[in-house]
Structure 1
């Protein structure tokens, strides 16, 4: 692959494999169609500019993406409107920037066991994957088609599974008349939302969004760069992605961060035999996302036109890989497995206490069980 082709594949994979999850998040918050377009455009602008700047500044293939697990987290909450959610997005972005500049905060986050953070993420994602099969009862053909295509395509290339499912869904919807081709909309219009800061939203959305982004997106993203032989400038990457998330939050955009899957496509030898030249893929990739931002209205119109069961199925299938990885990390350590199961169960539930959703209480429950287990172990050791 060439630099340009690698960037095109990475951009297409990143967008097609996860945009349905972002749509689910926007619907859960009650965003209008115009606000949803603005949300996706804001994300595309943020990750495009962040990728271009960081790749140019450090001469490394630094690829940024929106937080797909974060979108799943938002889609799982209830009781908040878009303005309140934007306030929580701003708080989460501020925490990312603070992590880049205030080392003790980063140290504190690193002390949260990966098993508990992963269990929280797995619990949030679980309900979306289960929803694929819930929809099968209502519309078996509409779900079996993308599911079958997904299962077959992933045998050829794991990157292609969700993309093939989405393309199959689009072809079926428009080919059978279940959806009609929309008229070409005007260029994307950005709709700004004045934030409303609410403590329960910051605790229930902002803090879990921050933790999920750090644990499930930024850390794997840095690992991909290191595996390719690069030394990522972690503080710079965190600050720039946090800053871009903060600036674009009023558009509805929830969070951008380091990419993992898309980064793996742009950092290998297939992109360019000379590792010192691969940074140019980040420039092309960022430019493609600016193009996506400009055409977000048309792209989303095509997807939204599909029947709801198809959208739900594609969104759930797009999270199967994340669920697999999160469950593996959550259950990796025998000593922490029970606490992880408790955290997973709480996150997968519809629990809401004091207006705060299950993601936050999942962390509380998991850490509480771990603490009790540690105390019990010390008492047994003394006796």
Structure 2
């Protein structure tokens, strides 16, 4: 029997793979977005607006880029970027929104000016990885502290994550998330989930604070570039797509810029979830695989529509549950960052010092440790090269 044109163009695998990618991407890290908003002092309405804006941006920009480039362009929010923001000290929500705008403008500038793209490519990967590792370390340590405080919830989740990751790594985080939520529900720690059914948007006036721009805006830009956009482009290349970086950086940066007042801190290429939608099992014809990017974007538009009850559910989770989910979500990024940090022997010492400075939580002149970690790393590399001459 000859398959119909619809079945050839839109096979069931396009929908199932896109659905799995959206569920893994959203469900695995939404707890970190809620934690980020709470750390910044955002209200429940502002946190809900941020999730709605992020899902809208991912859905609209992803569908537009997939159709325009005829490639499965899978977008996401920056999980390491959310960890950076959640770990920032002394930054209120208004200045944080200003930092979101600044980071988005830098990403757009990178897409507009080819010389800046070449300059960004020369940033030592070891230093960028070290800064990222220093940011993520505290969240992964908090995972084991939650084991101490809530043994019967955190330890089973950790075991499930480790076991499933050995055979089905894509589903490990989702399985651990479902186990944590089930445990909390059985304990009766979640009450009535109210707040309405549909997602809402509410703008917050950005505050352009110089300290927030330096301590949060610049590291957010670098983390998003190094841990999301560059790996995302690599995933696309490995799937056989020569994705032009300029339109991707420009339009994801523009989308973030427009939605930042509503709480969208970073919309960028996905890496892990992109691999689910770009393989041969999604669609046998690579030229038609762009449809998976459109379907994936459609699922995120549905998530935007019903974001309010989802956010309210995660807002009611106990602190140990949030720490467990966030820590598990960041184990893989931390592992990759540590590997990148130690990959180049000549840059290893500078990278380790950058890592330690970032992880220390150091704050000088009101500027956070991520920026000072970069300063330390670049200073050591500069001194090494100067003395070598």
Specify which of 364, 385, 388 is matched with residue 353 of structure 1.
Answer: 364
Specify which of 305, 312, 320 is matched with residue 323 of structure 2.
Answer: 312
Contact 2:34-2:314 within 8 A present in 1 as well: no
175-184 or 19-28: bigger deviation: 175-184
Mapping of 1:98-113 within 5 angstroms? 98-113=109-124
Specify which of 187, 190, 211 is matched with residue 198 of structure 2.
Answer: 187
219-228 or 149-158: bigger deviation: 149-158
Contact 1:228-1:267 within 8 A present in 2 as well: yes
- Report the secondary structure of 2:169's partner residue: coil
Contact 1:146-1:169 within 8 A present in 2 as well: yes
TM-score, with structure 1 as normaliser = 0.96
1:136 pairs with 2:132: no
Specify which of 273, 276, 279 is matched with residue 265 of structure 1.
Answer: 276
What per-residue deviation string (whole Å, max 9, x for no partner) do you get for residues 333-363 of structure 1?
1101010000000110110111110000101
Contact 1:92-1:207 within 8 A present in 2 as well: yes
CA distance in 2, matches of 1:181, 1:288: 26
Structure 1 unaligned segments of length 5 or more: list them: 379-383
Contact 2:132-2:223 within 8 A present in 1 as well: yes
CA distance in 2, matches of 1:19, 1:75: 13
Question: What is the match of residue 210 of structure 2?
Answer: 199
Q: CA deviation at 1:181?
A: 4.4
Alignment size in residue pairs: 378
Question: What is the match of residue 91 of structure 1?
Answer: 102
- Report the secondary structure of 1:257's partner residue: strand
Contact 1:169-1:306 within 8 A present in 2 as well: no
Question: What is the match of residue 4 of structure 2?
Answer: none
CA distance in 1, matches of 2:159, 2:190: 21
Question: What is the match of residue 374 of structure 2?
Answer: 363
Question: What is the match of residue 375 of structure 1?
Answer: 386
1:37 pairs with 2:48: yes
- Report the secondary structure of 2:327's partner residue: helix
Question: In 2 relative to 1, CA 181–156 (structure 1 residues): closer, same or farther, beyond 3 Å?
Answer: farther
What per-residue deviation string (whole Å, max 9, x for no partner) do you get for residues 277-335 of structure 1?
11001111111101111111111222222222011110011000000001100100110
- Report the secondary structure of 1:167's partner residue: helix
Mapping of 1:24-103 within 5 angstroms? 24-103=35-114
1:284 pairs with 2:295: yes
Q: CA deviation at 1:103?
A: 1.5
65-74 or 21-30: bigger deviation: 21-30
1:208 pairs with 2:219: yes
1:299 pairs with 2:310: yes
CA distance in 1, matches of 2:319, 2:85: 19
CA distance in 2, matches of 1:258, 1:111: 20
CA distance in 2, matches of 1:182, 1:216: 34
Specify which of 152, 160, 163 is matched with residue 149 of structure 1.
Answer: 160
Mapping of 1:5-20 within 5 angstroms? 5-20=16-31
Specify which of 149, 154, 161 is matched with residue 172 of structure 2.
Answer: 161
Q: CA deviation at 1:142?
A: 2.2
Q: CA deviation at 1:175?
A: 2.0
Contact 1:116-1:367 within 8 A present in 2 as well: yes
Contact 1:54-1:62 within 8 A present in 2 as well: yes
- Report the secondary structure of 1:65's partner residue: strand
Q: CA deviation at 1:137?
A: 2.3
Q: CA deviation at 1:377?
A: 2.4
Specify which of 142, 149, 171 is matched with residue 182 of structure 2.
Answer: 171
CA distance in 2, matches of 1:197, 1:347: 23
- Report the secondary structure of 1:264's partner residue: helix
Question: What is the match of residue 381 of structure 1?
Answer: none
255-264 or 143-152: bigger deviation: 143-152
Structure 2 unaligned segments of length 5 or more: list them: 1-11
